[in-house]
């Protein structure tokens, strides 16, 4: 593994993605914020502020998800369609380096996008809506955005994994499905408990263990009330995030290394 080649690929992905006008997402996000404020009632302390904070964080998450899925699933197939994959694999570039560089590059793009969207949201609530700063738990909201970004890194890895063996459209469908299943996987345990059948309960536990628990990265509801996860919970979540990324990237490298062009 050559770090220079990995970072060269990452830098190229970053430049190409930015050149593809992905930053227009920020402009669209800002327009939605401004339009939304026109339909908001006079904001006071209490539930109105919490509703605005929750909606803003949810919108940041949604926009980040769309970029992660649609750009991530197209990273490999775009190289194949443009025939540039033949040039890349002909060079002294390992396929694992190519995939890792793609992941790091898109991860950097999302770091910029998520950071700018969060900044735009804060400016909107303080300067446009004029929410009292005392009702905005900045620290816990920042943690919510940070964990959401970690989840997006997992989604990028999943998008690359699916993109190595299927079309961009099918990879997008698979990645969105994984995202939805990952956020409802905990309900399987509840279903197993309700069934009151040991075989069903065991099956739901096995399925839950195999599926990524993406709901762990979602602390949006807690954050708007100023709640911050303790260090143990954050450590477990970070470890799981890294594990999910490693598993998806390992699978992507294994499949992509055996693929003939």
- Predicted local confidence at residue 39, as pLDDT: 60
Task: Please choose, from the candidates 107, 108, 79, 72, the residue with its C-alpha nearest in 3D space to the C-alpha of residue 95.
Answer: 79
pLDDT in tens, 207-257: 777 778 898 899 888 888 888 888 888 899 999 999 999 999 999 999 988
As given in the structure block, the two tokens for residue 82 are 């443009």
Other Cβ atoms less than 10 A from the Cβ of 259: the count is 13
- Predicted local confidence at residue 86, as pLDDT: 62
pLDDT in tens, 25-53: 777 777 776 666 556 555 444 567 788 88
CB 71 within 8 A of CB 125: no
Task: Please choose, from the candidates 189, 212, 185, the residue with its C-alpha nearest in 3D space to the C-alpha of residue 200.
Answer: 189
Q: What is the 3-state secondary structure (H, E, C) of the chain?
A: CCHHHHHHHHHHHHHHHHHCCCCHHHHHHHHHHHHHHHCCCCCCCCHHHHHHHHHHHHHHHHHHHHHHHHHHCHHHHHHHHCCHHHHHHHCCCCHHHHHHHHHHHHHHHHHHHHHHHHHHHHHHHHHHCCCCHHHCCHHHHHHHHHHHHHHHHHHHHHHHHHHCCCCHHHHHHHHHHHHHHHHHCHHHHHHHHHHCCHHHHHHHHHHHHHCCCHHHHCCHHHHCCCCCCCHHHHHHHHHHHHHHHHHHHHHHHHHHHHCCC
Percent of the chain surpassing pLDDT 90: 29
- Whether pLDDT at 56 is above 70: yes
Q: Model pTM?
A: 0.88
Instruction: Give the domain range for residue 26.
Output: 3-258
When divided into structural domains, the chain yields a total of 1
């Amino acid at each position: 593994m050559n770090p220079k080649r990995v970072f060269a690929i990452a830098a190229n992905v970053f430049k190409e993605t930015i050149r593809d006008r992905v930053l227009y997402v920020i402009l669209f996000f800002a327009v939605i914020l401004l339009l939304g404020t026109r339909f908001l009632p006079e904001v006071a302390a209490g539930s109105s502020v919490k509703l605005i904070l929750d909606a803003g964080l949810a919108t940041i998450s949604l926009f980040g998800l769309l970029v992660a899925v649609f750009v991530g699933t197209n990273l490999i197939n775009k190289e194949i369609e443009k025939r540039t994959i033949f040039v890349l694999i002909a060079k002294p570039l390992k396929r694992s380096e190519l995939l890792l560089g793609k992941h790091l590059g898109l991860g950097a793009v999302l770091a910029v996008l998520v950071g700018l969207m969060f900044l735009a949201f804060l400016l909107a609530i303080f300067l446009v809506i004029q929410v009292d700063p005392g009702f905005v738990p900045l620290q816990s909201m920042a943690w919510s955005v940070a964990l959401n970004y970690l989840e997006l890194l997992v989604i990028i890895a999943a998008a690359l994994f699916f993109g190595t063996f299927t079309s961009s459209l099918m990879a997008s469908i698979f990645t969105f499905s994984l995202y939805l299943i990952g956020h409802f996987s905990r309900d399987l345990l509840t279903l197993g408990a309700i069934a009151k059948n040991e075989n069903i309960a065991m099956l739901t536990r096995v399925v839950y263990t195999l599926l990524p628990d993406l709901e762990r990265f979602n602390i949006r509801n807690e954050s708007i009330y100023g709640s911050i996860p303790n260090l143990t919970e954050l450590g477990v979540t970070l470890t799981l995030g890294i594990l999910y990324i490693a598993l998806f990237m390992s699978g992507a490298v294994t499949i992509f290394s055996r693929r003939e062009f």
